[in-house]
Amino acid sequence: MKILVIVPAFNEQDCIDQVILDLKKTNSDWDVLIVNDGSKDNTSQVAKSTNKAKVIDLVSNLGIGGAVQTGFKYAERNGYDIALQFDGDGQHISAEIPKLIAPIISKEVDMVIGSRFAITHSGWKSSVPRRMGIFVFTILNRLLIRQRITDSTSGFRAYNKETIKFLSAHYPMDYPEPEAIILLGKNGFKMKEISADMKARETGTSSINYRRAIYYMIKVVLAILMTSIRPKIRKGVKK
């Protein structure tokens, strides 16, 4: 079974090598693909110097959605059975991956989300605006696609072959995570959340502040509502 770990990276020179080494240490059979989203620092060189990862350098910055979709396109063309999305900032824990891909191997679901809230645990603390946003998404998920997804913004995900094919053609660009859930649910893909531990950020700063959070919420909620009223793209599947 061919497995590809897609790691979108933007200015992550301080920890990208550690992320790669960790992934390879957990399972050396996994292919690690770093999608360097036009970083201004040495992310690409640092990643290449490990000799353990494939590194695609985007010729210009596309944002997280465009970077992750590049990974899906690569995975589809090279016949991968499972693709994982894994953050480049050291927040995700590679030892949690086997748990994440188990429901896909057993063909139980099409996509699995590593969630910080599926059960309560002490590893991860969240800010107030983020919690509020996540609460809104949870309600929207339940209303629009009738699936219980509590951690819509988590970027720790696993996808099967059919989902890879679908998303390589249709993946949202700007703030893709919550929108992708609605898109997949609407098109009849089965999703599941699994509790996963995450670390606090090792480097860099969180992109959340109040003004940005409000813009983010309005934009994403609009995108979600639009996605939900668009016709289904994938035919012949029951919703």
Partner 1 sequence: MIDLFLNFRFQFISVFGSIFAILFVVELIRRRKIKEEYSLLWLFLGFSFLAMSLSQTLINKLADMIGIAYSPAALLLFLILGCFAILIHYSAVITKITIKNKDLVQELSILKYEFEEFKTKLEAKEKGEE
Binding site for partner 1 (CB under 8 A): 54-60, 62, 66, 69-70, 73-74, 77, 173
Nearer to partner 1, 59 or 119 (CB): 59
Q: Which residue has the tokens 């057993």?
A: 106
Residue 74 makes CB contacts below 8 A (sequence gap 6+) with: 4, 6, 33, 54, 56
Q: What is the dihedral of CA 222, 154, 191, 55, to 10 degrees?
A: 100
Shortest gap between Cβ of 152 and partner 1 (angstroms)? 23
Nearer to partner 1, 11 or 69 (CB): 69
Shortest gap between Cβ of 53 and partner 1 (angstroms)? 11
Nearer to partner 1, 66 or 90 (CB): 66
| Cα angle 170-235-187, degrees, rounded to a multiple of 5 | 50
Its sign, for the CA torsion 69, 71, 77, 80, is: negative
Shortest gap between Cβ of 74 and partner 1 (angstroms)? 6
Task: Say how far apart CA 56 and CA 134 lie, in whole Å.
Answer: 31
Shortest gap between Cβ of 85 and partner 1 (angstroms)? 16
Shortest gap between Cβ of 60 and partner 1 (angstroms)? 6
Which two structure tokens, joined as six digits, stand for 19? 């992320």
How many Cβ atoms are within 10 Å of 24's Cβ, its own excluded?
18
Nearer to partner 1, 73 or 165 (CB): 73
Nearer to partner 1, 38 or 204 (CB): 38
